[in-house]
A and B are shown apart, each in its own frame.
Chain A
Amino acid sequence: MRRLAVLRSPVGASSAVLLAILVALAVFAPILWGDRAAAIDTDALQQGPSAEHLLGTDQLGRDIFFRVLVATRLTIGLALLATVIGVVAGLFLGSIPSVLPRWAARTVTSAVNIAVAFPGLLLALFFAVIFGTGTIGAVLAIAFAITPSFARLTQTLTASVSGRDFIKAARVCGVGRFRLLTRHVLPNIAEPLVINATLAAGSALTAFAGLSFLGIGVQAPSYDWGRLLGEGLNRIYVTPAPALGPAVAVVVAGLAFNLFGEAAASVHRNQQRGAATPPHAPVDDRSEGGLLTVRNLHVTFPGDVRPVRGVSFTVHHGEMIGVVGESGSGKSLTALAVSRLVEHPGRVTADRLEFNGKPVTATPDRELGTRMAMVFQDPMTSFNPTRRIGSQLAEVSEVHQGLTRRAALAKAVDRLEAVRIPEPERRAKQYPHEFSGGMRQRAMIAMGLMGEPQLVIADEPTTALDVTVQKEVLRLLARIRQDRDAAVLLISHDITVVAQTCDRVLVMYAGRIVEELPTDELFTAARHPYTTALLEAVPDLDTDRDAPLAVIPGRPPEPGEIRQGCPFAPRCPLADDQCRTEEPELTTFAEGHRVACWKSESELVGVR
């Protein structure tokens, strides 16, 4: 499939056509026109272009146009031969270290590293001198000039694959080093290698033409484009055509290889594309809002992928709200949409998306930057590793609040102290890597406190942390809410974490809120079969060890897989025909309790 995808881009398609023509010429030209290209005509020595001889003739009166066509075979053939030898040698040198004992592997690797430092063409000239002038010498020279960069590429790619668990798993299963290399490593790095080999063929072709042009490549009576170019150049001021013909051939062929390689590489790099998404009908909504008002929020990606499909909720001042959902439920994207962080090509639409009574899109960056704070799952990637923690915190106040550098730094130290980081002054001068995971997450929260946040959005803030540290971070969030009357939107896959800390829970499934209820009713009054199943399926320290865990059959749907009906229906024991055809709306079930389920009245639902 992917190989065909190359042909769908205009560059890929035209370069593929060019390559096909070149191959056809290489195969058929010597058969069809070999005689005419070799025919000596003493009556027509060194002529210019004419109807009879399109590119003129050479000093023996042979037709240059046909000689260029016929030379395609030798030129392409030698370039490919050199590439194949170079690539094979590079693959060998690049992969052999993983099979060799350590000292030998090191020697090979350093040799390759040194060789990579020399420019390819210089190496080719060097080898051409060693191997002597002539076709074989030139082929080997170009092959060995390609080798080091290919060896290095193979090494790098191999290293990137070797660290992965499936290699470890195969080793544990007793798979030998050689088989490991041939069955697991090479197939997984084949794609970039093939693309680079195509690019290498293009440069081998031009390099070969260069060597022949200099007279150290193909020797008479054989001829390739490089030699024809060299011969034509002698009289370029008299008749340019004999030189331009082979020159154009070299450029076109080189371009064809390079463009095809580039097109293949770009297909390899990005595989996302698709069509625009259907808009939804806006609804006139006048319901009462809060600090954060979200009505009918959609996030769509090209290719009709709709990870968030009509989410509505309200966060009031000083409230702590939990959003629970599994991967792909749309919970993180909802948070990103609220803070305007959904990146292209994602599209955010909503009937209302308001912070403090103003549309989020119309809120200036400064206000959003100081009134809303984001805490992400991985605090390591949230900080710039090359800058001190203190100055990264201070930047917020310098940019958004116009504080001087000194005042901003003092504030940063104060905020680090507020999140209970010991020795805040010394810590502020340290780099992110000198902080432990929990410490970094607290620093991230401290960064949010540099403004005067009314809303803290924490997206899986404790998932990467150990349980003892997790508790500290959750406490810190709860304290911020208590001391500063800030609202907290806590997103988590862990329903127990949310149950412990939040006032209300939003349960998300397949891009929608399927249930919203107060936390203290979670274990007694949940009405959506997904919520109750989740509560039973997750063990905690009080779970009965002798009974099997409750199981939810199947798996959550991917955002692109959502079809008609209730998305939970395929996994739901209560689903009937209505569930499979009509998607239920989120409707009020009781005071502060909303459910999207046709079966919410069923007595079978409920935590046992």
Chain B
Amino acid sequence: MSGLHFTDVTVRFGHHTAVDDVSLTVPAGQVVGLVGESGSGKSTLAATAVGLVEPTAGHVRADGKVQMVFQDPYSSLDPRMSIGNSIAEAMPRGTDRKAEVARLLELVNLDPGRATALPARLSGGQRQRVALARALAGNPEVVIADEITSALDVSVQGAVLNLVRDLQRRLGLSMLFISHNLAVVRYVSDRIAVMKAGRIVEEGPAAQVLGDPQHEYTRELLAAAPRRHTRLEVS
């Protein structure tokens, strides 16, 4: 049974409590969408799962390896390293690196012949695919996607979202998908958790959280999300 389990996790930076006693489970093979405002503690919570931040209290248990994809594809790849090497670096020892790099590039719909290219030659969407391939190179059971589409052009975002959904289903990954965009989270997630001021205020199956929100803040978020066929009332 794989998955990701946060148990009573608290993170404090000095006097500031970024994550406040959070318990959350990402069930095996499912996508949990984590929504909330900037500063609500979403990214800090994610950072505890990969060891970038130590929890002040509580613990994180992952059954299997955890990998992470970052927000900004322009800063998450080493500009001096070819994309093939960036991907190979994440592989366990003893892998046939060349073949594996080719396979992974193929998997994220990139031409394997581009393995020697530097990131500067790639567009934002392509870089984000490379970042996905690198995350998959470590054969993870759990993947954390932290705002992976918010730095992308809208015409490119759809392709990355399709890819994420497709890979997750094909490889049976457990995924924590973080975004401030409710529409994007809704599209990829099986379950949705809503975070505010370091706490999870609501969590449940996506359809239920969006269709029948229990917490006032969830309702507020839903009401604020832009809908194309609704005009904004002035007062």
- Residues of A participating in the B interface, judged by any CB pair closer than 8 Å: 164-166, 168-175, 183-184, 187-188, 326-327, 437, 466-471, 474-475, 478-479, 482, 493-497, 499-501, 522-523, 533-535, 537-543, 545, 548-553, 555-556, 571
Contacts and interface: CB of A to CB of B under 8 A. Distances in A.
A522 B77 CA distance: 38
Interface in B187-235: 187, 210, 220-235
Contacts of B89: 170, 173, 175, 183
A467 B221 contact: yes
22 contacts: A166-B75, A168-B76, A172-B52, A173-B67, A175-B89, A184-B78, A467-B224, A469-B37, A478-B232, A493-B153, A493-B154, A494-B226, A495-B154, A495-B228, A539-B183, A541-B183, A548-B166, A549-B161, A551-B159, A555-B124, A555-B125, A555-B126
Nearest to A167: B78
Given A164-B75, A170-B78, A539 B51 contact: no
Contacts of A522: 228
A500 B230 contact: yes
Interface string B118-141: 000001111000010010011000
A543 to B, nearest CB: 6
B138 A173 contact: yes
Contact of B184 (A183, A500, A533, A539): A539
A540 B181 CA distance: 9
A13 B125 CA distance: 40
A494 B149 CA distance: 13
B155 A552 contact: yes
A542 B229 CA distance: 10
A538 B158 contact: yes
A380 to B, nearest CB: 12
Nearest to B146: A165
A537 B52 contact: no
Interface of B: 37-38, 50-52, 66-68, 70-72, 75-81, 86, 89-90, 123-126, 131, 134, 137-138, 153-159, 161-162, 165-166, 180-184, 186-187, 210, 220-235
A172 B81 contact: no
Contacts of A469: 37
A188 B120 CA distance: 14
Contacts of A468: 37, 220-221, 224
A188 B52 CA distance: 22
Contacts of B156: 552, 555
Nearest to B188: A545
A500 B154 contact: no
Nearest to A474: B232
A597 B72 CA distance: 34
Given A475-B234, A539-B184, A541-B186, A500 B155 contact: no
A541 B78 contact: no
Given A466-B37, A494-B226, A551-B158, 11 more contacts: A174-B90, A175-B89, A466-B38, A471-B224, A493-B153, A500-B226, A534-B154, A539-B187, A542-B228, A555-B123, A555-B155
